[in-house]
Structures are given as C-alpha cells and as structure tokens.
Amino acid sequence: MAVRAGLQQGLASGLPAGAGGAQLRTEVVSQLKLLFELHGHQLTPSQVQFIRGLYLSDPSANTNCSAGFIPPSTPGCGTSLTALTASMDLCA
C-alpha cells in the first residue's frame, strides 16, 4: 500500500530531475500500462483504476509493443473522443 501511495505521489508531483525526471515518468507509466495489459486480471480493483487513469493522463507514454492506435479525425462532430482514443491504445 505504501509503495502505491509513494508511486502515485511521485507521478503526480513529478520525479526529480536527478532521477530521470520526465523521461523516468514516461518509462514508469508505460511499464504500468504494460503490467495492466498483461496481468490486469491479477491486480486489485484500485490498482486497475489507477493504471486505467494513466491512459487518459499520459496518452503518449506507451510501450513499443505495437504500431499504436491512430484515431480517426472527427471534424465538426463536436464530440470529444479523448477517452475512447486512450482506451483503444492497448497492446493487443
């Protein structure tokens, strides 16, 4: 429990530049996403909720497991597809 709280706090406040800063954050987030995709069935509901939130907060932090999801353009429809796009960006 303390590890998750420390991780959440570190990701929220930013990691120290001496430890890798933004680059380390991107790597940690991408690895958490991969953990969810490969072993999500073994995570607790709160862990799943936390990691799924990373798809919205850090959409560009991805693993190199696929070509990635390229969302279709939706000119003029007025609907935000950000949440859907983030959900589609899973390794298959």
- Nearest-angstrom CA–CA distance, 79 and 75: 9
pLDDT score for 44:
92
Beta strands in 47-88 (DSSP E): none
- Nearest-angstrom CA–CA distance, 42 and 13: 28
- Number of helices (H), then strands (E), in the chain: 4, 0
Q: Any idea which residue has 């607790």 for tokens?
A: 44
- Nearest-angstrom CA–CA distance, 24 and 89: 20
| pLDDT, tens digit only, all 92 positions of the chain | 555 666 776 676 666 767 767 778 888 888 888 888 889 999 999 989 988 888 888 877 776 655 555 666 666 666 776 776 666 665 54
Sequential DSSP letters for 1-32:
-HHHHHHHHHHHH---GGGTHHHHHHHHHHHH
pLDDT score for 92:
46
pLDDT score for 42:
94
